[in-house]
Amino acid sequence: MRPIRPSDLAAPLPLFGVEASRRIESLAAAPLPPHTLMQRAGLAVARLAMALAPRAGTVWIACGPGNNGGDGFEAAMHLAARGFAPVVTFAGDEARLPQDAAASLRRMRAAGVTLAAAPPAQFDLAIDALLGLGARRAPEGTMADWLYRMRAGPAPLLSVDLPSGLDADSGRLGPDGGAAPRFCLSLLTLKPGLFTAHGRDAAGEVWFDDLGCAPGDVAPDALLAAAPAPAARPHASHKGSFGDVAVIGGAEGMVGAAVLAGTAALHAGAGRVFVAPLAPPAAAPAWDGTQPELMFRSPGALALAHQAVVCGCGGGEAVRALLPRVIDEAGSLVLDADALNALAADAPLRDAVARRAGRGLPTVLTPHPLEAARLAGCSAAEVQANRLRHARDQATALACTVLLKGTGTVIASPGETPRINPTGNARLATAGTGDVLAGMVGAALAAGLPPHEAAAAACWRHGALADGWPPARALTALALARAAQPF
């Protein structure tokens, strides 16, 4: 058993959705005596509960009608044997319990633990064992009431396998609320939904126990991204060794967006950075006195074929006219913000993006959910309901890498296992941080990283900067851009 912390990941971790997890469970259980996996799961839950609340007086365990409830019964038995006072409530029909869960209920009763008629008025730890892997509906009635009490109270909340009501594949969850400290023990497999959409808030700190079983040859649905390897730069290097980044954007009133992307690319290690504002000359700077390394050019003066081009940051309507040339000529390309809105409204431009792959030209799109929805012709709510699927679908449709921003950013590319980024926090919800990310992706492409790796590495580092930001210091996009480190 171990906690899943982004800074500790030495390599990407496999994530398995509902169908894959069930296949793994079936393969793992086949050579074992009946009931073995549930016994292991219950012991794991009890061990983590004791570690989280070693001095707990009352431990409330809310058990549901399926095998998730069986894990809770097992945990109660172990806690009672170790001197804790579990109060077990059950939302279900004993006659309809699955075989393993019914066996665990009998074991719990044999250990002297009975089912309580109602939750305790006060508790020191709550264990949510109501709904698990297969639940596709929001908790209702008694279960909903119990979840509200557990989530609203001050005591820590430990979810068994998944927070009840969370979709393991998508991270979709109904209304939650409450501020109880959250923990989740994912059993047998790690699930994608724990790390994207509502999953990160609902689960809190995720722990993992594989119950002594390996996934075998079952392919993961996604990977939890790990920290990129530190940059190794030979002494015999020069500015041309790390590539050129050209930023095209910054219409009138939004020139700062292009400067932010350029600043991020500069600090992320690009050899040279050009900024081509789309604002009229009278409204665009000729140079930046605080960052003289940034070279300002007109868009027509850029040698796009030899540059990693970041296009769209603050581009407004002005970027639309330049996109055909940019898509056709750019050596590698990041399309962000208003460039994505232009793509959404122009099918021939989307076709041109898809054709770049046939010419071996890397392309990365960096949409937020609303931009992704415009590209897909759906609503942002539909994108958020299954972020992993939408990122995969758009990557396939446009033959490029898609970095779908948001909590648990998804990186998808044709022929690659998608990655979910575990870094970042709400401090990034401020103007300009998306432009910084686009610039960092551009620098990673200029350094020679393949598009899938470039997007994943930039996203990880972008989020990690926010995670390590000093609490007393405001996180602004410019400060974030200047904190970037070379690829």
Nearest to 283 by CA among 264, 267, 296: 296
pLDDT for res 135 = 78
In the chain the domains, ranked by start, together with CATH numbers, are: 2-222 (3.40.50.10260), 239-482 (3.40.1190.20)
pLDDT for res 281 = 85
pLDDT for res 68 = 97
Q: Which amino acid is at 50?
A: M
pLDDT for res 434 = 98
Q: Give, for all 487 residues of the chain, the pLDDT tens digit.
A: 999 999 999 899 999 999 999 999 999 999 999 999 999 999 999 999 999 999 999 999 999 999 999 999 999 999 999 999 999 999 999 999 999 999 999 999 999 999 999 999 999 999 999 999 977 778 999 999 999 999 998 999 999 999 999 999 999 998 887 889 999 999 999 999 999 999 999 999 999 999 999 999 999 999 999 999 888 888 989 888 899 999 999 999 999 999 999 999 999 999 999 999 999 988 888 888 889 999 999 999 999 999 999 999 999 999 999 999 999 999 999 999 999 999 999 999 999 999 999 999 999 999 999 999 999 999 999 999 999 999 999 999 999 999 999 999 999 999 999 999 999 999 999 999 999 999 999 999 999 999 999 999 999 999 999 999 999 999 999 999 999 999 9
Which strand (E) or helix (H) includes residue 295? strand 295-296
| Alpha carbon distance 109, 107 (integer Å) | 5
Contact partners, residue 4, CB within 8 Å, separation at least 6: 13, 186, 190, 206, 207, 208, 224, 422
| Alpha carbon distance 461, 177 (integer Å) | 30
pTM for this entry: 0.95
Contact partners, residue 102, CB within 8 Å, separation at least 6: 70, 94
pLDDT for res 156 = 98
pLDDT for res 230 = 83
pLDDT for res 232 = 81
